[in-house]
C-alpha cells in the first residue's frame, strides 16, 4: 500500500495507492508556500484527504531539507481531531520507514552499501498537548469535571516543590502526586520518556496510567535508607559544582558561604534537560538559548534569588551573598561552559527508555521541545497568556514567550534582520480563527472580580508585613532588581511563571525600568486599591456605553494621576511581587491578576481595542455591570506568529471568501497563495438545495420579522417531516439560536407536528449543558446504528456545529433553518463592525454576510467526510437564493448547486431529495474511480540533476531548494487592496 512520487525535486511519501487530483494540486500549492517561503490560505473540500496530503508533503519536505526546515506546528480545535491527525501522521511515517528500509535492503543486495552498514530509521517524535483536564491521570483529580478546578488541584498537589537539607544535599519532599514524582525521577535519571515515534494524547494518557511505586519507593524509604535519593541529587550537585568552578574560572559568579552547594547560580532548566533522539534542536542552539536563564533555588521552603553572573566576555558580575565577586576574565573568544553542556556530555551515552507511569501532561510539555511535529490547540500559539508557545521554536522550556521572542529577535539582528524561525505553522479548520484571535487578547472585569481584587490586595499587604518581620532582605532585593531593570531576566519561580503569563504580545513589551511609584510593594498595592475604586465608580452606570482606550487613560490620569506607562508595568510588577512573597495558592489571586492584565493591555495598546460597559449583560432585570476590554483587531494576535515563523498556512473545508481573512488577520505581507480547490467526483455525492418557500408560497426565513408568522414554522415542520419520511438513518438540523429553536419546537409541539415527527424518527436536542448534549449524541448514534433513525436538533455556532462529524449514516441530510447571523445588537459586534469599516473599508453588510455564510458552510459540511459518503444539504431560507450570499458558499458546494435547485418549495425539495437518494442507492465501485491519480500518472523517478531526495544514502538534509516554486508563487500572489474596493475573482 502506498507509493512515492516527485514534485520537482521533492520526493513525496504517500501512504495510499492513489491520489485525488485536488490532493495533488493542494500539495503543489503547499510546496510553493514552503519554497518561497511565505504564507497561504487554502480551502480544501471536506472528505478529500486534506490532512494526509498536508502531512505527506510537509514530512517529506522536512526529510529532504532537514537542516533548513524546523518543526511542524499543527493547530486544531478538539481532542478527537488531534488524535485523528496524529494517527494519520503515524501511518505516513510508518510507510516512509518501510519504503526506506526496503530500498536499503535492495542496495545491500546490489553491494551499493557496505556489508556491515545498518539501516538508520527516519523516525521522528510527534506528540500532542491538551489541557490538564484531558490528560490528568491522578485517581482523584481526573474525575473532576471542572477545568479550572482541575488546574488548581493539580498545581496545589505538585507545588511548591519544597526542599530540605538531608546529609548535605537537597531533596524534594512535598509533591503528593506519584505521577509527577515519576516525571521528575525520569528527568533526574537522564532517561528518555518515550522512543521517537508518534503518540496520540490518548496513548500518552494510557502510558501515564501505568502503575508506579509510591513516593517513598521512588525516592527510597527515608525512614530506613535515603542513600538512593541522596545519590541522585548528589550526582546532580557534583555536575553543577563543576559547572560552578568553570564559571568562576571564566568570569561567572556563584553564591558561596552558608548557602552551600545547592544554592549557586545554575539555570533550573539545566537540571531538567533531557535530550530525545529526533530533536530538531541542536545541542549548541539549545545551550545558547538556555545559558541566560537563572531561576530561584529553593532552600528550606524559602526562595533565594541567585546573583546574575557574566556568561560571556569580560563583563562585570554581581556580588555574591558574602559580598565577594569574581574578577576572572575568560580568554578572548572563549565561551563559558554551562551546566547544560556538562549534563549533555554525561547523557550522550545511550539512554534508558522509561516504562511509563509519569504525568502525561508535563511529559507532553517536556516533549514539545524535542518533537519534530506537534499538534496543539490554537491558544498555545495565539494566546500570549499560554506559556507553552515558548517551547515551539527551539528555545528553552522555561524562558517564557517573552524571552523566546527576544532570542528570536537577537537571531534576526545577527543575520541582518530577515531571519525567521524555520518552523511551519498550520491552522486547521481555521474558518473562525479571527474570533479566536480577538478572544485571546480580551479581558473582562465585573463587580465580583473587583471585590475579589480588594480581598487579594489586603492579603498581599498582610503577607508583606509578615515578610518584613521575618526576612526584610527579600523585599529590598526585589526593589534593587526593579531599579536595575532585572525584573524581566527570567529569574522566576517556575510555578508562578507557569500560572501568570503576560497578556501582552511579546514584541510589544518594552524593556524599560519599572516606574518608581510602583517599585515598592506597598506603593503598588496602594495604587491598585485606588484603581479598584475608580473602576467601581466607572461601572456605576444605568446605560450601556463604549469608550476608547486613550479616553479611559485620560480619565484615570485626571482622577488618580496614573499614566499609561505605569499601567503597562502592572503585570510585571504583580508577577515579581508574587514571586518575592512565594505565593503558591495562585488561584485565589485570579481577580487581581485579571485587574493587572486589564491595566497592562490598556496601557500598552491605544489602537485595536475598545472599552465596553454593559450594566445588564445577562438579563435586563438583573444589574451586574460588566467592563470589557475588547480586541477588535484580530491581526494583533496573529502578527507575532507571522513575524516569528517563516510559513503560516490557514486551511479548512469552509473558509470562503479567502480574501476576507487576508484583511482581518493582516496577512498582506508575504502572502504567496490563496486558493479554493474543486472536488473531483465520479458521482455527484452532495445535493445542495435552497428552499425559499412553502407549498402555500409563503417565504421561509428566520429573520426577526418572520418569527411571529405561524406559516413559516409550519412550513419548516412539514419540510422536516417529509424529509424524515424520505431519508433513512440520521438527519441533522441547525437553528440560528437556542431561543429560535425553542420557539419553533414549542410551536411544532402545539400543532402536533413534533408527535408526527417522533413517529418517524427519534428526536434529540443540543442543550447548553455539555454532559447532556454528549449523552444525546451517543443516543442519536445508537438510534442510527439500530436502524431506527433519528433527528438531531442543534445550533449553528454551537459545540456540535464546530466539532462533531456526522459521516455515513449518521448524517444523510442536514437542514439549515435560517441564516446564522450574529446578534446584530451585540455591543462587541457593533464595535468590531465600526473598526473594520474605519480601518479596512469593510462594509457592515459585507462582514455580516461573510460571517453568517462561513458558519452556514461549516454546518452543512458536517455530513461529508469522504468521497464514498453522500448527503443532502438543505438551505431553508429564501435569503440563500440571493447572489450575495450564494457566492459566499464554498466553490466545491456551489459547483453542485444547479439552477433548478436554487429556488425550491418544500415539496419540490423533497422530490429532489428522493431523486438524489435513488441515484446514490445504485452500486458504486470506488476502486474504479477514473479521477484518481496513480503511480503511472505521476512522476515517480527523480528529475535530472537531483539526487533523489529522501532516498537512502542520498545525503538527506543537505539539499538546496532548486525548484522554480518561488517564481510560480510570485505569479500567483494576490493583489492586496481594501476589501470594500476589491473585485473578487476566483
The CATH number that applies at residue 766 is: 3.40.50.300
Residues 741 and 665 occupy one common structural domain:
no
CB of 296 within 8 A of CB of 306?
yes
What is the per-residue pLDDT for 251? 42
CB of 653 within 8 A of CB of 44?
yes
Residues 923 and 937 occupy one common structural domain:
no
Residues 734 and 760 occupy one common structural domain:
yes
Residues 6+ apart with CB under 8 A from 230: 166, 167, 169, 171
| C-alpha cell read off for 855 | 458558519
Residues 717 and 659 occupy one common structural domain:
no
Residues 908 and 765 occupy one common structural domain:
yes
pLDDT, one tens digit per residue, over 166-195 is: 333 444 445 578 898 888 888 888 788 888
Residues 59 and 172 occupy one common structural domain:
no
CB of 270 within 8 A of CB of 283?
no
Helix, coil or strand: residue 724: helix
Is residue 409 included in any domain, yes or no? no
What is the per-residue pLDDT for 618? 83
What is the per-residue pLDDT for 587? 79
What is the per-residue pLDDT for 513? 66
Of 605, 633, 661, the one marking the end of a domain is 633
Is residue 768 included in any domain, yes or no? yes
Residues 674 and 784 occupy one common structural domain:
no
Is residue 20 included in any domain, yes or no? yes
Residues 921 and 935 occupy one common structural domain:
no
pLDDT, one tens digit per residue, over 232-251 is: 333 443 444 444 444 444 44
Residues 82 and 153 occupy one common structural domain:
no
Is residue 542 included in any domain, yes or no? yes
Of 322, 356, 390, the one marking the end of a domain is 356
Consecutive sets of 10 residues in the chain, 986 residues long: mean pLDDT of each? 92 94 95 93 91 96 92 91 94 94 90 85 89 89 85 77 38 68 85 89 90 40 36 40 44 36 33 34 37 30 33 35 36 38 42 77 89 92 70 42 43 53 93 92 94 95 86 70 51 48 58 73 93 94 92 94 90 85 80 93 92 89 91 93 93 88 91 90 89 94 89 96 94 95 95 95 93 93 94 92 86 95 91 93 92 92 86 95 89 89 94 94 73 89 69 46 37 37 34
In the beta sheet, which residues pair with residue 5? 12
Is residue 87 included in any domain, yes or no? yes
The residue length of the chain stands at 986
Is residue 95 included in any domain, yes or no? yes
What is the per-residue pLDDT for 191? 81
- Residues 173, 175, 176, CA angle at the centre, nearest 5°? 120
Residues 752 and 877 occupy one common structural domain:
yes
Is residue 55 included in any domain, yes or no? yes
What is the per-residue pLDDT for 617? 87
In the beta sheet, which residues pair with residue 12? 5
Total domains in the chain come to 4
Of 598, 633, 668, the one marking the end of a domain is 633
Is residue 414 included in any domain, yes or no? no
| C-alpha cell read off for 928 | 474504479
**What is the C-alpha separation between 411 and 394, in angstroms, rounded?**
12
**What is the C-alpha separation between 209 and 205, in angstroms, rounded?**
6
State the residue for C-alpha cell 409541539.
749
968 Rama class: left (phi>0) / alpha (psi -120 to 50) / beta: alpha
Residues 565 and 491 occupy one common structural domain:
yes
Give the start-end residues of each E strand in 503-625: 545-547, 609-614
Domain that includes residue 209, residue range: 142-305+332-356
Residues 6+ apart with CB under 8 A from 151: 131, 132, 133, 587
Residues 176 and 190 occupy one common structural domain:
yes
Amino acid at each position: 500500500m502506498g507509493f512515492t512520487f516527485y514534485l520537482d525535486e521533492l520526493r513525496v511519501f504517500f501512504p495510499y495507492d492513489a491520489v485525488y487530483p485536488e490532493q495533488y494540486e493542494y500539495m503543489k500549492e503547499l510546496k510553493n508556500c514552503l519554497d518561497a517561503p511565505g504564507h497561504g490560505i487554502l480551502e480544501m473540500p471536506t472528505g478529500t484527504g486534506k490532512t494526509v496530503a498536508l502531512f505527506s508533503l510537509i514530512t517529506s519536505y522536512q526529510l529532504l531539507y532537514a537542516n533548513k526546515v524546523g518543526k511542524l506546528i499543527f493547530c486544531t480545535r478538539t481532542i478527537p481531531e488531534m488524535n485523528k491527525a496524529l494517527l494519520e501522521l503515524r501511518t505516513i511515517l510508518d510507510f516512509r520507514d518501510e519504503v526506506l528500509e526496503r530500498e536499503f535492503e535492495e542496495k545491500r543486495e546490489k553491494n551499493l552499501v557496505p556489508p556491515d552498514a545498518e539501516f538508520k530509521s527516519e523516525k521522528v517524535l510527534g506528540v500532542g498537548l491538551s489541557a490538564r483536564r484531558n490528560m490528568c491521570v491522578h485517581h482523584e483529580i481526573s474525575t473532576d469535571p471542572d477545568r479550572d478546578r482541575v488546574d488548581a488541584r493539580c498545581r496545589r498537589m505538585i507545588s511548591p516543590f519544597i526542599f530540605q537539607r538531608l546529609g548535605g544535599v537537597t531533596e524534594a519532599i512535598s509533591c503528593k502526586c506519584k505521577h509527577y514524582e515519576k516525571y521528575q525521577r525520569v528527568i533526574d535519571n537522564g532517561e528518555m520518556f518515550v522512543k521517537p515515534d508518534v503518540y496520540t494524547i490518548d496513548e500518552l494518557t494510557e502510558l501515564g496510567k501505568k502503575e508506579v511505586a509510591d513516593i517513598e519507593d521512588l525516592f527510597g524509604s527515608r525512614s530506613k535508607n535515603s542513600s538512593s535519593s541522596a545519590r541522585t541529587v548528589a550526582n546532580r550537585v557534583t555536575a553543577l559544582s563543576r559547572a560552578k568552578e568553570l564559571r568562576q574560572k571564566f568570569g561567572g559568579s556563584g553564591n558561596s558561604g552558608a548557602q552551600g552547594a545547592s544554592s549557586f547560580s545554575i539555570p533550573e532548566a539545566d537540571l531538567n534537560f533531557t535530550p530525545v533522539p529526533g530533536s530538531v534542536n541542536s545541542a549548541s542552539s539549545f545551550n545558547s538559548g538556555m545559558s541566560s536563564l537563572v531561576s530561584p533555588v529553593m532552600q528550606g521552603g524559602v526562595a533565594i534569588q541567585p546573583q546574575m553572573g557574566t556568561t560571556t566576555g569580560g563583563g562585570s558580575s554581581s556580588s555574591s551573598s558574602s559580598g565577594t565577586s569574581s574578577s576572572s576574565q575568560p580568554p578572548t573568544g572563549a565561551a563559558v561552559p554551562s551546566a547544560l553542556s556538562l549534563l549533555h556530555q554525561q547523557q550522550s551515552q545511550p539512554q534508558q527508555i522509561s516504562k511509563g507511569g509519569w504525568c502525561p501532561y508535563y511529559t507532553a510539555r517536556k516533549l514539545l521541545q524535542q518533537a519534530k511535529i506537534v499538534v496543539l490547540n490554537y491558544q498555545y500559539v495565539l494566546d500570549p497568556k499560554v506559556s507553552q508557545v515558548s517551547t515551539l521554536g527551539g528555545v528553552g522550556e522555561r524562558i517564557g514567550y517573552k524571552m523566546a521572542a527576544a532570542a528570536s529577535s537577537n537571531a534576526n539582528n545577527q543575520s541582518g534582520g530577515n531571519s525567521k524561525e524555520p518552523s511551519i505553522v498550520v491552522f486547521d479548520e481555521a474558518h473562525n480563527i479571527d474570533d479566536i484571535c480577538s478572544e485571546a487578547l480580551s479581558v473582562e472585569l465585573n463587580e465580583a472580580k473587583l471585590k475579589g481584587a480588594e480581598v487579594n490586595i489586603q492579603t498581599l499587604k498582610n503577607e508583606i508585613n509578615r515578610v518584613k518581620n521575618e526576612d526584610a532582605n527579600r523585599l529590598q532585593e526585589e526593589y534593587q532588581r526593579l531599579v536595575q531593570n532585572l525584573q524581566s531576566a527570567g529569574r522566576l519561580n517556575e510555578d508562578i511563571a507557569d500560572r501568570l503569563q503576560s497578556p501582552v504580545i511579546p514584541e510589544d513589551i518594552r524593556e524599560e525600568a519599572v516606574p518608581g511609584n510602583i517599585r515598592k510593594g506597598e506603593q503598588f498595592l496602594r495604587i491598585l486599591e485606588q484603581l479598584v475604586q475608580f473602576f467601581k465608580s466607572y461601572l456605576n452606570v444605568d446605560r450601556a456605553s463604549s469608550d476608547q482606550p486613550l479616553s479611559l487613560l485620560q480619565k484615570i490620569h485626571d482622577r488618580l494621576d496614573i499614566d499609561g506607562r505605569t499601567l503597562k508595568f502592572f503585570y510585571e510588577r504583580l508577577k515579581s511581587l508574587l514571586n518575592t512573597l512565594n505565593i503558591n495558592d495562585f488561584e485565589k489571586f485570579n481577580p487581581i491578576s485579571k485587574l493587572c492584565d486589564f491595566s497592562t493591555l490598556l496601557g500598552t495598546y491605544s489602537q485595536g481595542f475598545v472599552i465596553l460597559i454593559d450594566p445588564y449583560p445577562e438579563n435586563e432585570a438583573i444589574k451586574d455591570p460588566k467592563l470589557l476590554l475588547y480586541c477588535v483587531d484580530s491581526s494583533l494576535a496573529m502578527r507575532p506568529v507571522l513575524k516569528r515563523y517563516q510559513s503560516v498556512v490557514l486551511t479548512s473545508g469552509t473558509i470562503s471568501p479567502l480574501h476576507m481573512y487576508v484583511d482581518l488577520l493582516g496577512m498582506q505581507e508575504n502572502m504567496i497563495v490563496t486558493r479554493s480547490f474543486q472536488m473531483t467526483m465520479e458521482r455527484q455525492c452532495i445535493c445542495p438545495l435552497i428552499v425559499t418557500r412553502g407549498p402555500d408560497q409563503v417565504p421561509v426565513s428566520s429573520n426577526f420579522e418572520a418569527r411571529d408568522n405561524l406559516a413559516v414554522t409550519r412550513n419548516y415542520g412539514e419540510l422536516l417531516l417529509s424529509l424524515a419520511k424520505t431519508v433513512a438513518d440520521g438527519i441533522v438540523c441547525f437553528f440560528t439560536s437556542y431561543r429560535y429553536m425553542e420557539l419553533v419546537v414549542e410551536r411544532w409541539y402545539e400543532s402536533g407536528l413534533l408527535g408526527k415527527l417522533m413517529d418517524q424518527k427519534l428526536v434529540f436536542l443540543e442543550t447548553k449543558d455539555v454532559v447532556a448534549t454528549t449523552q444525546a449524541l451517543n443516543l442519536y448514534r445508537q438510534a442510527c446504528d439500530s436502524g431506527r433513525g433519528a433527528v438531531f436538533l442543534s445550533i449553528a455556532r454551537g459545540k456540535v456545529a464546530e466539532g462533531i462529524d456526522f459521516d455515513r449514516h449518521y448524517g444523510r441530510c442536514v437542514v439549515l433553518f435560517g441564516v446564522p447571523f450574529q446578534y446584530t445588537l451585540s455591543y462587541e459586534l457593533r464595535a468590531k463592525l465600526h473598526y473594520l469599516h474605519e480601518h479596512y473599508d469593510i462594509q457592515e453588510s459585507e462582514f455580516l454576510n461573510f460571517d453568517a455564510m462561513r458558519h452556514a458552510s461549516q454546518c452543512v459540511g458536517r455530513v461529508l467526510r469522504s468521497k464514498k459518503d453522500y448527503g443532502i444539504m438543505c438551505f431553508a431560507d429564501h435569503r440563500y437564493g440571493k447572489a450575495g450570499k450564494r457566492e459566499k458558499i464554498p466553490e466545491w458546494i456551489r459547483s453542485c448547486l444547479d439552477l433548478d435547485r436554487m429556488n425550491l418549495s418544500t415539496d419540490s425539495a423533497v422530490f429532489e431529495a428522493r431523486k438524489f437518494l435513488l441515484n446514490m442507492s445504485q452500486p458504486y465501485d470506488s476502486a474504479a474511480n477514473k479521477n484518481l491519480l496513480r503511480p503511472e500518472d505521476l512522476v515517480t523517478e527523480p528529475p535530472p540533476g537531483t539526487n533523489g531526495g529522501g532516498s537512502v544514502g542520498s545525503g538527506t538534509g543537505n539539499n538546496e531548494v532548486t525548484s522554480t516554486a518561488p517564481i510560480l508563487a510570485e505569479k500567483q500572489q494576490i493583489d492586496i487592496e481594501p476589501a470594500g474596493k476589491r473585485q473578487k475573482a476566483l
